[in-house]
Amino acid sequence: MSESKYREWILDTIDSLRSRKARPDLERICRMVRRRHGSEPDRTCAELEKLIQEQTVLKVNYKGSISYRNAAKVQRRSRKKDDATLSMAARRSAVEEASHSDLSNGDSAFGPVDQDEEDLEADTSVAMDTDSNADEEGADESRDGQDGPSPGRTYEDASVHCASVRAVSAPCSPSGTRPGPGPGCSLGSGLDCATFQKAGERPSSLPPSSPRALAHNDWADCPAERQHPGMQREKAAMKPAIHSATSSPTALKKNVKKEDGGKVEDRSLSSDQLVPDYAARLDETKTVSDRRPQPMSLPSENCTFKKKLDISSFTEAEDSLLNGCKGDEVSVKKENMSQNLLQWTVADVASYFSAAGFPEQAVAFRAQEIDGKSLLLMQRSDVLTGLSIRLGPALKIYERHVKVLQRTHFLECEDL
């Protein structure tokens, strides 16, 4: 409960700041929430982190500083040709929110994920970073290495950079969870968050993490870690390095086959400058090891396969089906997926859809308390009319995600 309350407060605050033309940064958000509702900054910060993980709120680096965006109001640019239509439809459906009027935007500042998954085609390198400077502000420790204001940052390493940069993103954790410094979330700490982006400006791509991981990890513990759930398309982000480390070979494969062909660099996704914390986590070196730890909160076993799930299942299974491939190796991973699907929590489902590019609709899934099991039971009509979401996105969600996940799940069951 409090959770949703905070979601509303924070989202309203971000909207208010935006309408006032003030940067919605951590300090202002915390201050306004405290003033309006009496919540302490630390708590607000923690809740904000949580929302970031769920992608209800997007953390972006805009013009050198961190900003937060109401994901529901962000409209990703119409990415490609045909999407225009779709996007329109999708665009303003504000599910519950409110609504102001401005959502569309494009600033580079955010670009959340794209919605269409399928078209990743082209982009190989998407890097769009908007601002050039990424600076950093306070990032004390975080900034290490290279960054500097050097103008010449290249994108390529972004991935690397990011990693290095921060591990800290979790600025606010109340308890000071992880990183030593743990300033707590005081407003000041907000800086941490920012840190990383400077690295490359480019946002690193989205991580492939699993939805549940995110969800679970109570931000409380480790806050910032990754923020977003497994999203499909963005696999690119993870470069090989990671996978290897990670353990899920499968994931790699996919990437490899699809994009990696050559370089991989990291294309990061589309997002412009999302500032994913998780990025940090990808440290190169430890990447591997690090990444998984996070999910500590999960039930033990899940962790393991959870990961697989994320990447592989989402991506692969889904993609393959979508694309029509038969997916050989896919089958393997599928197993996990089906099982996992049953274990998805409401937060996992919401994270999945947010990551899939439907943040606004993800809210509706959450509102209806759709967890993995419920998702498996959903029928077309449920998705189109039961969630009160716009028809355009609903159709895409059903055809591309719900149906695919269900099919994959049941196919596996049969096999098993």
Binding residues vs DNA (CB under 7 A): 16, 18-24, 31-32, 35, 60, 62-63, 65, 67, 69, 74, 77-78, 102-110, 128-132, 272
Q: Which of 68, 70, 72 is nearest to 59 (CA)?
A: 68
Q: Which two tokens stand for residue 226?
A: 């990754």
At closest approach, how far in Å is the CB of 36 from DNA?
7
At closest approach, how far in Å is the CB of 385 from DNA?
28
At closest approach, how far in Å is the CB of 182 from DNA?
25
CB nearer to DNA: give 53 or 78: 78
CA distances in angstroms from 410 to 182, 334, 403, 407, listed in the order given: 45, 10, 10, 5
CA distances in angstroms from 164 to 2, 169, 206, 212, 335, listed in the order given: 34, 11, 16, 24, 34
Residue 402 CB neighbour total at 10 angstroms? 23
CA distances in angstroms from 275 to 325, 328, 331, listed in the order given: 33, 35, 33
CB nearer to DNA: give 31 or 380: 31
At closest approach, how far in Å is the CB of 234 from DNA?
17
CB nearer to DNA: give 206 or 252: 206
CB nearer to DNA: give 5 or 20: 20
At closest approach, how far in Å is the CB of 136 from DNA?
14
CB nearer to DNA: give 32 or 245: 32
Sequence-distant (≥ 6) Cβ neighbours of residue 267 within 8 angstroms: 123, 124, 125, 126, 127, 205, 236, 237, 259
Contact 226, 277 (CB under 8 A): yes
Distance from C-alpha of 179 to C-alpha of 216, rounded to nearest angstrom: 19
At closest approach, how far in Å is the CB of 74 from DNA?
6
CB nearer to DNA: give 126 or 215: 126
